[in-house]
C-alpha cells in the first residue's frame, strides 16, 4: 500500500457521523497549521488504542460512546494474546520449568507479543498496525472487520492460505478454497461473532478453544439429525463409541510450521526464523478432550516450537519440552463437502497415511506426542 | 536609548506590532509560509500527500532483516 493511501481520508468519512468531529478532537495536534511538523506536533496518530485489562479500564477515544465494548475488549484474546505472550500463562511455558520463567519473560515480550490488536482502529478503521497499517476505506468506520484487509492481515500463514487455497504449487491434488469462503462468500464475521471478537469482559479464556463463544460447526449444521450415514457412523448423533471432529472428514490439507528460532540481530532488533512450512493432513488422537470437544480423533497441526526455540536467551530453557505435544488440535479453514479422505469408506479406512504415526514424528518429538500419535489404526488397516 | 536599538516612539510601536503579528502567526500556524492548512486540506488531497511524503518520507519502524519464514 502506498504511503499516501495509508492516510488519505475519503470525503465520505467527513460526511459520516464519526466525521462530524474535528480531527483534533480525537487526534490532538494543531489545526490550522502552516507545516506538517506544526500540524502533527502533540498529535496521537492512533487514539483508539485500548490499554490492557491489567490496571486499565479500556478507556480510549472510542469509550466515551462504546465503553462496554472497550472495557470487554481490554481483556479479550485479540488484545492480550495471553496464551501466546503472557509470561504468566503462555502455552509454551508448559514446556519450561519455574527456574527459567524469568529468563523466558523478555523472550516472550520481544518475539511473541508483536501481533496484539492494540486498537479499535486496527479492525474498524485501518489495517492492523502489525501488518503495516493504513486506512481500509479512507478512514470510514467499518462496523465489521474486512476479512482480507483486517483478519488475514494477521492470520495469513494458516487461515488465509487455507481458506483461499493458496497452498504451494507442489501440493497435489490442488486444494479448493474453503467452501464457506468460496463459493459461499461468507466473511470471517459470519462465524466469528462480535461477542467472541470483542470478548465478554468476564474472564480471559485460557486459549481460543476454551472460549465458549468460539464458533462450532454445529452452530449451523445439525449433524446429529441430518440423516447422513457417515455422520451417524462416526458418532455425531451420539450412537457410536468413536467420535470424529468434523474436520477429520471435511478438511483439506493445511499448513504446518516447524523449527521457530528467535533472536536479536546486531542492531538489537528482534526476529524469528522458521525452518519450514509444509501443507499436510494428519489425523491424531484428541489431546484436549473436553465436554465441549469430546472427539476421539481430530486433525492435528504441527506448531513451530522447537526444543531450542529460545536458545538465544539461554541453553535448554524448555527443559519440559515433552510435557506438551508439538502436533496440536487444529481447526483448519480448508473445509470442503467432498475431500480425498471422505470419498468412500476405503479412502480413509484403507489409508494409514492419513493418521499420525510414530514414523511421521521426528524422533526428538516422539515423547512429546505420545498422547496424539495413533497407535492402533481403525480396523487395523495396513497391518 | 542604546545604539542600534529602537530610536523613536514610532520604531517602538512598529517593533511591538511585528512581535504581536509573529506571535499571532505562530499561534494560528501560519508562521513561515504565510498560509495555514486544515487537516483535511492535506489528508483529502492525494497528489499533495504524495508530493509531501516524497519530499519528506516517513520512516517505517525498523524491522530485522534476519526475519524469515512464517510466524
A 47-86 residues with CB below 8 A of B?
none
B8 falls within a domain: no
B44-70 per-position pLDDT tens digit: 999 999 999 999 999 888 999 999 998
Give the Cα-Cα-Cα angle B43, A115, A326 (nearest 5 degrees): 160
Domain count, chain B: 1
What is the reported pTM? 0.88
Strand partners, A258: A276
Answer whether residue B31 shows pLDDT above 50.
no
Which of A272, A279, A276 shows the shortest CA–CA distance to A259?
A: A276
What are B25's three cell numbers?
502567526
User: What pLDDT score was predicted for residue B14?
Assistant: 80
pLDDT band at B34, cuts 50/70/90? Answer: low
B50 falls within a domain: yes
Q: How far is CA B69 from CA A47, A86, A263, A281, A360, in A?
A: 32, 23, 14, 20, 22
B 10-49 residues with CB below 8 A of A?
28-40, 42-44, 46, 49
Is A264 in contact with B64 (Cβ distance < 8 A)?
A: yes
Helix, strand, coil percent values for chain A (each to nearest 5): 35, 10, 55
Q: Does A12 touch chain B (CB under 8 A)?
A: no
Which of A261, A334, A269 shows the shortest CA–CA distance to A304?
A: A261
B62 falls within a domain: no
Chain A residues with beta carbon closer than 8 angstroms to that of B42: 36, 39
What are A210's three cell numbers?
476454551
Q: What is the distance between the alpha carbons of residues A209 and A201, in angstroms, rounded to a whole number?
A: 17
pLDDT band at B22, cuts 50/70/90? Answer: low
Min distance B44 CA to chain A CA atoms (Å): 5
User: What pLDDT score was predicted for residue B24?
Assistant: 60
- Reduced to 3 states (helix: H, G, I; strand: E, B; else coil), residue A166 is coil
Smallest Cβ distance to B29: which of A38, A260, A263? A38
Return the domain boundaries, chain A: 76-116+155-380
Smallest Cβ distance to A269: which of B30, B36, B64? B64
Q: What is the distance between the alpha carbons of residues A270 and A264, in angstroms, rounded to a whole number?
A: 4
Question: Is omega for the bond preceding B41 within 30 degrees of 0, making it cis?
Answer: no
Chain A residues with beta carbon closer than 8 angstroms to that of B68: 273-274
User: What is the distance in angstroms between the CA of the first residue and the CA of the last residue of chain A?
Assistant: 55
A 30-49 residues with CB below 8 A of B?
30-36, 38-39
B66 falls within a domain: no
Q: Does A268 touch chain B (CB under 8 A)?
A: no
Q: Does B61 touch chain A (CB under 8 A)?
A: no
Q: How far is CA A282 from CA A108, A249, A255, in A?
A: 29, 11, 11
The per-residue pLDDT of chain B, averaged, comes to 79
A143-152 per-position pLDDT tens digit: 999 999 999 9
Is the Cβ–Cβ distance between A31 and B38 less than 8 Å? yes
Q: Can you give the residue range of the structural domain that contains B42?
A: 18-55
Chain A residues with beta carbon closer than 8 angstroms to that of B57: 3
Smallest Cβ distance to A35: which of B32, B44, B69? B32
Q: Does A276 touch chain B (CB under 8 A)?
A: yes
User: What pLDDT score was predicted for residue B18?
Assistant: 72
* Residue that the C-alpha cell 539461554 belongs to: A314
* Residue that the C-alpha cell 439429525 belongs to: A225
Chain B residues with beta carbon closer than 8 angstroms to that of A304: 70-71
Which residues, in sequence order, are CB contacts of A202 under 8 Å at separation 6+? Answer: none
- Reduced to 3 states (helix: H, G, I; strand: E, B; else coil), residue A68 is helix
What are B21's three cell numbers?
503579528
Give the Cα-Cα-Cα angle A54, A60, A64 (nearest 5 degrees): 120
Question: Is omega for the bond preceding A32 within 30 degrees of 0, making it cis?
Answer: yes
Answer whether residue B2 shows pLDDT above 90.
no
Mean pLDDT of the B5-21 span: 75
Q: Pick out chain A residues at pLDDT < 50.
A: 54-55, 382-383
Question: Is omega for the bond preceding A183 within 30 degrees of 0, making it cis?
Answer: yes
A58: left (phi over 0), alpha (psi -120 to 50) or beta: left
Is A265 in contact with B65 (Cβ distance < 8 A)?
A: yes
What are A268's three cell numbers?
538489537
Which of A297, A306, A209 shows the shortest CA–CA distance to A257?
A: A306
User: What pLDDT score was predicted for residue A54?
Assistant: 47
**In whole angstroms, how large is the CA radius of gyration of chain B?**
23
Amino acid at each position: 500500500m502506498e504511503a499516501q493511501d495509508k492516510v488519505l481520508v475519503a470525503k465520505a468519512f467527513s460526511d459520516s457521523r464519526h466525521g462530524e468531529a474535528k480531527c483534533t478532537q480525537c487526534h490532538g495536534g494543531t489545526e490550522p497549521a502552516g507545516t506538517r511538523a506544526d500540524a502533527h506536533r502533540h498529535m496521537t496518530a492512533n487514539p483508539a488504542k485500548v490499554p490492557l485489562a491489567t490496571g486499565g479500564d479500556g478507556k480510549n477515544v472510542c469509550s466515551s460512546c462504546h465503553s462496554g465494548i472497550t472495557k470487554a475488549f481490554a481483556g479479550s484474546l485479540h488484545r492480550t494474546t495471553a496464551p501466546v505472550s503472557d509470561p504468566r500463562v503462555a502455552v509454551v511455558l508448559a514446556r519450561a520449568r519455574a527456574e527459567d520463567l524469568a529468563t523466558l519473560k523478555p523472550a516472550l515480550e520481544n518475539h511473541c507479543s508483536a501481533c496484539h490488536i492494540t486498537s479499535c482502529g486496527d479492525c474498524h478503521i485501518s489495517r492492523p498496525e502489525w501488518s503495516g497499517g493504513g486506512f481500509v476505506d479512507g478512514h470510514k468506520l467499518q462496523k465489521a472487520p474486512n476479512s482480507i484487509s483486517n483478519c488475514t492481515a494477521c492470520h495469513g500463514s494458516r487461515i488465509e492460505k487455507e481458506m483461499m487455497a493458496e497452498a504451494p504449487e507442489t501440493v497435489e491434488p490442488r486444494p479448493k478454497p474453503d467452501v464457506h469462503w468460496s463459493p459461499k462468500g461468507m466473511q470471517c464475521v459470519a462465524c466469528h461473532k462480535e461477542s467472541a471478537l470483542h470478548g465478554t469482559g468476564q474472564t480471559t479464556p485460557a486459549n481460543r478453544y476454551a472460549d465458549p463463544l468460539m464458533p462450532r460447526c454445529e452452530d449451523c449444521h445439525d449433524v446429529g439429525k441430518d440423516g447422513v450415514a457417515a455422520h451417524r457412523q462416526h458418532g455425531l448423533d451420539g450412537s457410536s463409541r468413536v467420535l470424529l471432529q468434523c474436520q477429520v472428514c471435511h478438511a483439506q490439507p493445511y499448513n504446518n510450521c516447524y523449527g521457530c528460532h528467535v533472536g536479536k540481530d546486531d542492531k538489537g532488533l528482534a526476529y524469528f526464523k522458521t525452518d519450514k512450512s509444509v501443507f499436510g493432513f494428519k489425523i491424531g488422537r484428541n489431546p484436549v478432550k473436553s465436554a465441549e470437544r469430546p472427539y476421539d480423533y481430530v486433525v492435528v497441526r504441527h506448531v513451530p516450537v522447537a526444543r531450542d526455540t529460545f536458545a538465544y536467551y539461554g541453553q535448554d530453557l524448555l527443559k519440559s519440552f515433552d510435557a506438551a505435544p508439538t502436533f496440536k488440535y487444529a481447526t483448519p479453514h480448508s473445509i470442503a463437502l467432498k475431500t480425498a479422505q471422505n470419498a468412500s469408506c476405503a479412502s480413509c479406512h484403507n489409508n494409514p497415511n492419513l493418521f499420525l504415526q510414530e514414523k511421521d514424528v521426528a524422533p526428538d518429538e516422539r515423547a512429546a506426542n505420545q498422547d496424539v500419535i495413533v497407535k492402533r489404526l481403525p480396523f487395523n488397516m495396513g497391518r | 536609548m542604546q545604539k542600534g536599538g529602537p530610536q523613536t516612539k514610532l520604531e517602538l510601536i512598529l517593533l511591538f506590532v511585528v512581535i504581536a503579528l509573529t506571535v499571532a502567526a505562530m499561534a494560528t500556524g501560519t508562521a513561515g509560509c504565510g498560509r495555514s492548512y486544515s487537516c483535511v486540506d492535506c489528508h483529502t488531497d492525494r497528489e499533495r500527500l504524495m508530493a509531501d511524503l516524497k519530499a519528506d518520507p516517513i520512516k517505517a519502524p525498523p524491522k530485522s532483516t534476519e526475519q524469515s519464514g512464517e510466524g
